[in-house]
Amino acid sequence: MAPTPNWLRRRGARPEAASDALWDICPHCNERLYKKDLAELLWVCPKCGHNFRISALDRISLLADGDFREVAEDLMTGDPLQWTDRVSYVTKTAGDRTKSGLMEAILTGFCAIDGVAVGLGVMDFAFRGGTMGSVVGEKVTLLIEECGRRRLPAVVVCASGGARMEEGMVALMQMAKTSAAVARFAELGLPFITVLTDPTTGGVSASYGFQADVIIAESGAAIGFAGRRVIDQTIRQKLPDGFQSSEFLLEHGQVDMVVRRADLKPTLGRVLRFFAARLAAVPA
């Protein structure tokens, strides 16, 4: 197993493979898999090729060359609606912080990917289903703005169930806010790249997820706005097989490429170098 990267050590976190459970079951083919082997295989089932959902920490380890300098790491959500259903929103987010080791559903920072300096945001489905509330929206916006100041490309890896219900309108507003940040960034002529992973839905798909210059989908991911069942029941039509999969979206021109997890870093490197060569040729 690769040694724990320094940035992860500084964070006081352990790679997922070092956590307590030794085995995992593939949700697709039910194969029982040894976690340490799975980590070596980048959390891809060796039997059926299913991509396990991975934490933001594992994803950064997968993509960043060496160091990752996190920014806005202390931002913590408030409770704008004082929301309570079965449990209060405050209790839910506190539980997610403990469970995931994260302050929110996205980590943002700066690193190099395959030799190219970038701003990188990585969402984590384990924190409130990767939903976008005020803090996710703010962190995405801050990252994109800082990339603009540093004249760096921005990359965001999405994994999200959509807008965060418990923040209501404040969550929905983040769609407009992040979209505006992406539009301002585009005016600077800098590249914005998203990687849509399983699942990328709702408000994130309807804002920055699909607003990138290059949209990469990880293979086998579920990507869409509303869920299949909701659409089925609304339009009362049978939806085609593979609807809302990465591969279906590629066939229909909604994403630019579908990439296997193992190829993600070199592919991002290639795309980033393509833009870097053109940026170098044009004065800022």
Among 1, 18, 29, 183, binds Zn ion (CB under 5 A): 29
Q: What angle do CA 20, 160, 267 make, to 5 degrees?
A: 85
Q: What is the closest distance, in whole angstroms, from the C-beta atom of residue 49 to Zn ion in the complex? A: 7
Q: What is the closest distance, in whole angstroms, from the C-beta atom of residue 46 to Zn ion in the complex? A: 8
Q: Nearer Cβ to Zn ion, position 47 or 228?
A: 47
Q: Is 47 in the site for Zn ion (CB under 5 A)?
A: yes
Q: What is the closest distance, in whole angstroms, from the C-beta atom of residue 111 to Zn ion in the complex? A: 30
Q: Is 260 in the site for Zn ion (CB under 5 A)?
A: no
Q: What is the closest distance, in whole angstroms, from the C-beta atom of residue 242 to Zn ion in the complex? A: 18
Write out the H or E segment, with its range, that includes residue 258: strand 257-259
Size of the site for Zn ion (CB under 5 A): 8
Q: What is the closest distance, in whole angstroms, from the C-beta atom of residue 158 to Zn ion in the complex? A: 23
Q: What is the closest distance, in whole angstroms, from the C-beta atom of residue 28 to Zn ion in the complex? A: 5
Q: Is 45 in the site for Zn ion (CB under 5 A)?
A: yes
Q: Six-digit token pair at 96?
A: 């997610």
Q: Is 34 in the site for Zn ion (CB under 5 A)?
A: no
Query: How distant, in Å, are the alpha carbons of 85, 88, 132, 133 from that of 81?
Result: 12, 11, 15, 12
Q: Six-digit token pair at 92?
A: 């839910």
Type of residue at 233: Q
Q: Is 33 in the site for Zn ion (CB under 5 A)?
A: no
Q: Is 48 in the site for Zn ion (CB under 5 A)?
A: yes
Q: Is 25 in the site for Zn ion (CB under 5 A)?
A: no
How many other C-beta atoms lie within 10 A of the C-beta of residue 115?
A: 10
Total residue length of the chain: 284
- The span of 46-54, 84-92, 182-190, 197-205 binding Zn ion (CB under 5 A) equals 46-54
Q: Is 50 in the site for Zn ion (CB under 5 A)?
A: yes
Q: Is 53 in the site for Zn ion (CB under 5 A)?
A: no
In terms of phi and psi (left: phi > 0; alpha: psi -120 to 50; beta: otherwise), the region of 269 is: alpha
- The span of 5-13, 41-49, 66-74, 256-264 binding Zn ion (CB under 5 A) equals 41-49
- Euclidean distance between CA atoms 87 and 255, whole angstroms: 38
Q: What is the closest distance, in whole angstroms, from the C-beta atom of residue 21 to Zn ion in the complex? A: 17
In terms of phi and psi (left: phi > 0; alpha: psi -120 to 50; beta: otherwise), the region of 115 is: left
Q: Is 57 in the site for Zn ion (CB under 5 A)?
A: no
Q: Nearer Cβ to Zn ion, position 50 or 177?
A: 50
Strands 214-218, 23-25: pairing is unpaired
* Helical packing angle, 134-150 and 168-187, nearest 10°: 10
Q: 77, 135 in Cβ contact below 8 A?
A: yes
- The span of 43-51, 52-60, 67-75, 104-112 binding Zn ion (CB under 5 A) equals 43-51
Among 8, 15, 16, 26, binds Zn ion (CB under 5 A): 26
20 contacts: CB under 8 Å, gap ≥ 6: none
Q: What angle do CA 124, 100, 145 make, to 5 degrees?
A: 45
- The span of 50-58, 71-79, 90-98, 244-252 binding Zn ion (CB under 5 A) equals 50-58
List of residues contacting Zn ion (CB under 5 A)? 26, 28-29, 31, 45, 47-48, 50
